[in-house]
Amino acid sequence: MEIVLSECDKMQSGAPYDPGCPELVAIRKRAQGLMRDYNQTIMGDPQRAEILQSLLGSWNGAVIRAPFHVDYGMNIHFGPGCFANFNLVVLDVCPVHIGARTQIGPNVQILTADHPRDAASRAKAVEWGRPITIGADVWIGGGAIILPGVTVGDGAIIAAGAVVTRDVPAGATVMGNPARQQKRKES
């Protein structure tokens, strides 16, 4: 017996999927409505918590400054004590796990979505993704971009403007485009 996966199951597992299927369109529309509602609030509005609990896979009281943008929301999991500054963009076609006490600067992009490299395949409108895991106590500087499939270890620092294309070891500092690990200076 052949098991048939929904397009949502395919998407979340990293398999190629059709982003235009009705199920995924409905989930994105729901997320868009919740983002619209959230982005119209200000700090201290009591409905913020309710909106984030409805939008995110795991909220855990993260402080997220509006505006905040997601694809689906349901695949985003914040640990306790996280902070995200203005204009965080998370394309969450696959799971995104953000560890406890991680701090995210303004205009950061966390992108699990990926696309075919050749034009003919792109024209078929099929895409896929790879999950992103960010450890605990990580600092991500303003304007940084984290690409599909990256794991960032606990206590790492992603410098402002870095484009992270590969895994970052725990405690490392990376900067540049593509981001490269900086050597520790001897004291």
Q: Which of 69, 77, 97, 115 is catalytic?
A: 115
Q: Are 135 and 154 in contact (CB under 8 A)?
A: yes
Average pLDDT over residues 153-181: 97
Per DSSP, 117 falls in state S
Burial of 98 (C-beta count, 10 Å sphere; 0-12/13-18/19+): buried
pTM: 0.94
Up-side HSE of residue 29: CA atoms within 13 Å toward CB?
A: 7
Condensed to tens digits (0 to 9), the pLDDT of residues 52-94 reads: 999 999 999 999 999 999 999 999 999 999 999 999 999 999 9
Q: Is 115 one of the catalytic residues? A: yes
Please say if the pLDDT value at position 187 is more than 70: no
